[in-house]
Structure 1
Amino acid sequence: MKDFGRNRALALRALEAWCAFFWCCAMVCLCSAARAEPPQPLANWLFPAGGQRGKTVEVTVSGKELQGASGVRVSGPGVGGKIVQVVNPTTVKIAVEIAPNAELGQRDLRIVTPGGITNRLRFFIGELPELNETEPNTERTQAQKLETLPVVVNGQVLERDRDCYRFAVKAGQVLVIRLEGRRVLPYLPDTVPGFLDGCLTLFDAGGKVVASADRFRFDPDPLLIYPVPQDGEYTLEVADILYRGRADFVYRLTVGAVPYLTHVFPLGAQRNTTAQVALFGANLPAPNLSFAVPADAPPVRPFLMPGVPNLNVVPFAAGDYPETGESEPNDAPAQANRVNVPVTINGRIQKPGDVDHFIFSAQANQVLVMEVFARRLDSPLDAHLSLRNSQGGQLAEADEYQDPLTPLVMHHADARVVYTFPAAGDYVIRIRDIELAGGEDYAYRLVIAPPKPDFFLYAMPDNPRTGKGETAAVTVKAIRLDGFGGEINLAVQDLPPGFSASDAVIPAGQEEAKLTITAAPDAPLGPVAPSIVGTATPVKELVTRRVVGAEDVMQAFSYHHTVFTQEFVLAVIEPAGFALSVGLAPKQVLEVKQGAEVPVTVKAVRREAVKGPVELSAVGPPAGISIKPATIPADKDETQVVLVIPKQAPVGLRTNILLTGTLKTDKETFTRNAPAIPIKILPEK
């Protein structure tokens, strides 16, 4: 036995020595090999999805490739975060610090890793005390007691899960219960309908169902407003309406006799005027509110009540045109309210079957836009417009207008008519609910005005990454409004020292352009937030619009939505593989003739032990432009890329040519962007 023990010890020492030798060899190989490119991180959900002002909240973030997470980025001032623990590559614990004066509402939260920065997750700043649900609370007999109201409960509907809560309320109180699940994660890729479809059920002390809700109007997030008839303890059940469950079914539940604004009327006001607004909801401090609408008010802003906790916000519009209200009776064309164009009409479909008519004068060949703003302002109205001449003949009608500026609206129910009037005279526009529904909350804003050409810009991806000294490519897309088809000039601003970027132009009649951002060779690792702006002349004056970030989000396995983010963030990571550059001076634009072949020098800087040829290709070149096959040989650092300009290329076109280089090693394939090559097409002769 003694020999066996001695031999075992010797064997273990030999194994230890071999392991040490192997480890040293591996480290030598790793140090001499190419630095592997880290994977791009992904964030799937976080819990809890919010916190109270003035508090520090511990949050769990779930995703992929989160190993080495080093930082937290939160949009807007007053909120910061730090990594507490990297549990594993799919789970990170963070601390979110919320200042007492942090602005209420949604923030974008991202995790920084060696591979870049994640997509955004939504994190909400509130005013009320908050707590997390405690399992087990699936049965009503296990209901978690909420000791003090009001409160915000952060929970998750897990597999086969229901969450139950009990609390005491008094007779005469108006209890508000609001579940926010879809608001936290509006679109999920691998479930139908693509979000937590929440359901609330309220039981009295005897176990009787006294109220329930599975939505609020058209919103899948349910709302219960319950006048309490008698003192007692009530139990609330939270579930998915289909009794599904999963970790990303994260919710925020507000419970208490708190002020809650369901809607306002009118839905907006003219800029640089004083708005007189009626308030509707529960536990409101006053039935009306008067306030100034500034001249620079955004088209839509959150409506906030002063002096009380704002648990929810409703949208409030600001317009440029004179405003008027409808006057009943106007159910028939002969009773139509006369209005002067341009105008914004504030009205209601006050009861089921109600119809509103308005009459106005138009000139021959005049183009007018008649557009309803209702569903986009949280009204349940499903609008239908019908345009008729003075003899009653129908000229145009419209139901659903798909507004690309409101990607979170699942049912686009606002109507829009654009019409060129053939002759001068009076015309009648009729508005109704297409299902003949109605009520005091079926409010609308009907704008009748000439087209107002404009544009909106967004960048994808909203979280690109690039190594030190390397280049990221960004696509900027334009949503053209009211017929604007002109050229849009793009520029990158607010870059850190040593960074550079190409300009770009979205040509007339087109919807996108590509630009590049190159990091400084000594840039600090981590996120930077450059600004991209676009300038154009839609009418007479030069207009500047800031580019927002956008992400492509899948819903229910097949539907894709372009959803705007609060920040465009570029992550600088460690360089790997190689970097490309082009032989052009900063901001130089190559002037090339139709039918020409133009050489451009492209250089590669290979890093560490990376060897091999770099194959070059063009990324979606416009206007039929191409490049001849080009490779930087393994023993060379540069080559000539020949741009081939077709004879039919449009003269005056200003565009960017983007090149990528691909280098394959035994273990990895590296692909890198070159800085954009700006060109302008000149006539052949």
Structure 2
Amino acid sequence: MISRHLSLPTLGVAVSVWFAASSPSQAQQVTLPLPRLLTLMPMGAPSGGSVEITLTGENLEEVTALLFSTPQITAHPVTSSDGTSVPSKFLVTVAPGTPAGVHDARVLSRLGISSVRAFAVSNLKEITRTAANNTVETALPLELDSICNASMTKRAVDHYAFQARQGQAIVVDCAAAGIDSRLTPVVVIADAQGRDLLVNRTGGRLNFTPPADGRYLIKVNDLTFQGGERYFYRLALQAANGKTPLPRQPETQSVSAMSWPPSGLAATPASRETEPNNRAPETQKITLPCDIGGNFYPAADVDTFEFAAKKGETWWVEVASERLGRDTDPFVLVQQVKQADGKETLTDVAELYDIASPMKLSSNGYAYDGPPYNAGSPDVNGKFEVKEDGTYRLQLRDLFGGTRSDPDNEYRLLVRKAAPDFSLAAWGVHMTLRNGDRAALSKPMALRAGESRVFEVVTQRRDGFDGEIQLSMEGLPAGVTASGLKIGAGKTYGHLVLTAASDATDAFSLATITGKALINGQETTRSCRMATMKWPVKDAKGEIPAPRLMADVPVSVSNSEPAPLTIEPADSKVVEATVGTTVTIPLKITWRNEFTGTSLKLRAYGDGFAGLKEIDIPMKAETTTLTLDLAALKLPVGEHALALYGTAVSKYRYNPAAVPLAEAEQKKAELLAQAAAEEAKKIAATDAAAAKAAAAKAQQAGTLMAEATKRMKAVSTTAEPRDTVDIIVSAPIRLSVKPAPVAAATAAVSSQP
């Protein structure tokens, strides 16, 4: 449950968080405020250890819990000597045996569950930098096999020192983007005087072998010398054993990883590439099907595989590398090999490139005229057909690999017969606004009572599967329901509508999203991954949005403030209609805020309803009707669902309930300050020592009064009505289309023997 308790110290922190991310001007804001967790410091801990965490965020009041995507990590509020909770601080404990990896952290607050932030677990000793280390002289000493958690110092270089022996293999790994940081790290290994020896400007690892015993430095800075609490990093310093490569620090997954791995794939490849295999005389002989692991290494590496194939065969080729977290762009060339008169002739059979996005993307990659999420990938998944018996050769290379020589750039190559399947990912719907508004915001599934929220669900279809996919969601909090607007046959995306009842009370749960389809006559169920923005981007023209996949699907509902508007069917029953007829559906509308304009203009989500004309709902109308011409829509017999949606501007007040509490606290502080001042005045002429103590007490009371006044002003300012544009979504409307009576009777007669 989400607590409704409010204390003024918590309120003060929340207000400062709100203003840290919001302009005090009354310009139109995009979307209703949602709770967002922005930073954790430190952002990781060792397995079996404990650490005190300080968090920051947007729109966070009454934080009652810090939760993680694994039960092996727990958190409890830090308390002061009088037993009260210290705002924004938690003691996090990682259970012994917790494997190294990245987990999602989120908080429960007044508005519900927040967006997520990465929290890493390691098997190394960990420290947190607490003092400035921007010079050679102030370099922070690091032990081998340890990790330091830190935030980048703005317009500066952070320095670290370590001792090493000549010839000892050292690995320096700076985790940043992979743990949700905004930092683009430049990492340098230098000698004791700070002279550069080795540099990495791409955020990768540095492998270093000291030329002599002694003290060495690690220097870290942002590529453009940005800094602050959002530019955090985890700097790992490890000794390599020279036999087994050290694993990279764990990272979150990009949205493109939603299509990997195929169902049932083994955790490790069945075989490995064998170098050298770049040139024709060195080709690696294989048989199909195959599952091969390899590396795009060294620079300009071309791995070549040769196999026999028979006429009429169709083989699907899939390569995973970018989806494994590598900065690569695989390319596959398949050629037929013929020998004649001692000469080799190669004929191109197929060139296989990127996996296309299921949806139209932004025209320039970041300005929002399409979703700021890309479920496509530079990886490969395509097919080639064998036209005649013979020998064939497959070449695999990284189109980015001409000058890079990184052994971490691994890949996995699959060549298989068709295995039709699908994968799913979902994210909160973003809106296209007038020119200049390009918001790409993290949208936690924190519902207000009476609200409906839409999520786009995309599918990557595998090996020719093009059937219908039914969407569903389970494990929702009490008072919340979900309706999957199916992904139609041959379509690449659909929608999922979450609806919180108007009388829903505070609740939270971990839900699951699934898709079901018939593949070769068998019902196949696949889970759906949820995606989010790492950071709320207010204007994507100036900052490229950075989405990623989440570890699970947290959902909450809060009755702290209701949705501004609720549109729902007057009757919750399924509407029944006959194919080819026209049906009228009564709708009920509940207005809770003031809206601008004269009407709401709404369109429809749902497979089969794209042709529905825009409808107008007069402002403040309590009822209206939706008319569906089933013949014009060409809606077939069966079960259907739709939801109406559009954008609207309302007068929104942020947390107005906090205003009277802040006013009461201000009055209390004023009375205490007044009493302390009068007491100090009385004592001043009698006892010098007592007068001094009384004056100090009066000064302290005056400071508390000033702070209470400042808090009250801030709370009142944020509670003032502000024009807010948001997506308005109706509760789902369910429709059962029946066959025409004559057609049904005819079918019944024709079925008789």
After TM superposition, the score normalised by the length of structure 2 is 0.66
Where structure 2 has 5 or more consecutive residues not aligned to the other structure, the ranges are 1-30, 80-86, 249-259, 339-344, 359-371, 429-442, 653-720, 744-753
Aligned to 1:372: 319
* Equivalent residue, structure 1, for 2:205: 223
Counterpart of 2:489?
A: 508
1:582 aligned to 564, 569, 578, which one?
569
Q: Which residue of 1 aligns with 2:553?
A: 568
Question: For residue 418 of structure 1, what is the amino acid of its counterpart?
Answer: K
Q: Does 1:452 align with 2:431?
A: no
Give 1:92 deviation, angstroms. 4.2
- 1:18 maps to none
Contact kept? 1:455, 1:480, Cα under 8 Å: yes
Query: Which whole-Å deviations, capped at 9, do the CAs of 1:346-395 have from their partners, x for residues lacking one?
Result: 55677667655433343444322233344545778765432222333432
Pick from 593, 599, 602: which aligns with 1:617?
602
The one-letter code sitting in structure 2 at the alignment partner of 1:389 is Q
Give me the whole-angstrom Cα distance separating, in 2, the residues matched to 1:549 and 1:141.
46
Q: Which AA in structure 2 matches 1:401?
A: D
**Could you say which residue in structure 2 is the equivalent of 1:267?**
none
- In structure 1, the partner of 2:473 is 492
For 1:199, the equivalent position in structure 2 comes to 187
Instruction: Give the conservation status (yes or no) of the 8 Å contact 2:604–2:610.
Output: no
Sequence identity of aligned pairs in percent?
Answer: 23
1:616 is displaced (CA, Å) by 7.0
Q: 1:536 aligns with which of 514, 517, 521?
A: 517
Closer, same or farther: CA 507–652 of 1 in aligned 2, 3 Å: farther
Matched, 1:640 2:605: no
- Cα 1:497–1:121 change in 2 (3 A) is closer
- Tell me the SS of whatever aligns to 2:466: coil
Aligned amino acid, residue 610 of structure 2? A
Provide the residue aligned with 1:395 in structure 2: 348
- Between 1:41-50 and 1:351-360, the stretch displaced more is 351-360
Shift of 1:536: 0.9
For the aligned residue pairs, the C-alpha RMSD in angstroms reads 4.4
Q: Which amino acid aligns with 1:125?
A: V
User: Contact conserved, 1:300 with 1:316, CA < 8 A, in 2?
Assistant: no
User: Is the 1:578–1:672 Cα contact (8 Å) retained in structure 2?
Assistant: yes
CA distance in 1, matches of 2:170, 2:379: 32
Task: Deviation per CA, 1:40-67: give whole Å up to 9, x if none.
Answer: 2334433221122344433333333234
Q: Secondary structure at the match of 2:178?
A: coil
The change in CA–CA distance for 1:242 and 1:530 in structure 2 (over 3 A counts) is closer
Structure 2 counterpart of 1:239, from 221, 224, 232: 221
Taking a change above 3 Å as real, the CA distance of residues 212 and 541 of structure 1, as seen in their structure-2 partners, is same
> Structure 1 residues 62, 336: CA separation in 2 closer, same or farther (over 3 Å shift)?
same
Q: Does 1:65 align with 2:84?
A: no
Offset of residue 252 of structure 1? 0.5
Quick one: distance in 1 between partners of 2:247 and 2:465?
44
| Preserved contact between residue 336 and residue 349 of structure 2 (Cα < 8 Å) | no
1:410 and 1:175, CA in 2 relative to 1: closer, same or farther beyond 3 A? farther
Contact 2:37-2:58 within 8 A present in 1 as well:
yes
CA displacement 1:267-314 (0-9 Å, x = unmatched): xxxxxxxxxxx833599xxxxxxxxxxxxxx9499xxxxxxxxxxxxx
Task: Indicate yes or no: 2:351 matched with 1:420.
Answer: no
| Matches of 1:179 and 1:515, distance apart in 2 | 38
Give distance in 2, aligned partners of 1:156 and 1:545. Answer: 39
Conserved? CA contact 1:346–1:444, under 8 Å: yes
Give the structure with the higher percent helix: 2
Quote the Cα distance in structure 2 between the aligned partners of 1:556 and 1:56: 41
Instruction: State the partner residue of 2:127.
Output: 131
Partner of 2:731: 675
Tell me, yes or no, if the aligned pair for 1:200 and 1:214 is still in contact at 8 Å: yes
Match of 2:160 among 138, 162, 165: 165
Find the aligned partners of 1:105 and 1:237 in 2 and give their Cα distance: 25
Aligned equivalents of 1:197, 1:171: Cα separation in 2: 27
Picking from 146, 150, 155, the partner of 1:151 is: 146
Instruction: Output the amino acid matched with 1:181.
Output: A
Find the aligned partners of 2:626 and 2:350 in 1 and give their Cα distance: 54
My pick for the range that moved more, 412-421 or 566-575, is 412-421
Of the structure 1 ranges 349-358 and 424-433, higher mean CA displacement relative to structure 2 is found in 349-358
**Residue identity in the other structure for 1:165:** Y
Given the superposition, is the C-alpha separation of residues 338 and 680 from structure 1 closer, same or farther in structure 2, using an over 3 Å criterion? Answer: farther
Contact 1:454–1:481 (8 Å) recurs in 2: yes
Residue by residue, what CA displacement relative to the aligned partner does 1:128-153 show, whole Å, maximum 9, x if unpaired? Answer: 2322213331110122234x543211
2:177 match: secondary structure: coil
Displacement, 1:664? 5.6
Partner of 1:545: 526
* Equivalent pair of 1:514/1:656 in contact (CA under 8 Å): no
Mapped contact 2:102–2:179 kept (Cα < 8 A):
no
Residue 456 of structure 2, aligned match among 469, 475, 481: 475
5 Å matches for 1:324-335?
324=271, 333=280
Aligned residues: 579
The 8 Å contact of residues 118 and 179 in structure 2, kept in 1 or not, is answered as: yes
Aligned-pair distance for 1:239? 1.9
**Pick from 336, 339, 343: which aligns with 2:290?**
343
Measured against aligned partners, the alpha-carbon deviations of 1:19-49 in whole angstroms (never above 9, x if no partner) come to: xxxxxxxxxxxxxxxxxx9722334433221
Structure 2 counterparts to residues 22-61 of structure 1, below 5 A = 39-61=33-55
Amino acid at match of 2:156: D
For residue 602 of structure 2, what is the amino acid of its counterpart?
A: S
Q: SS at the partner of 1:658? A: strand
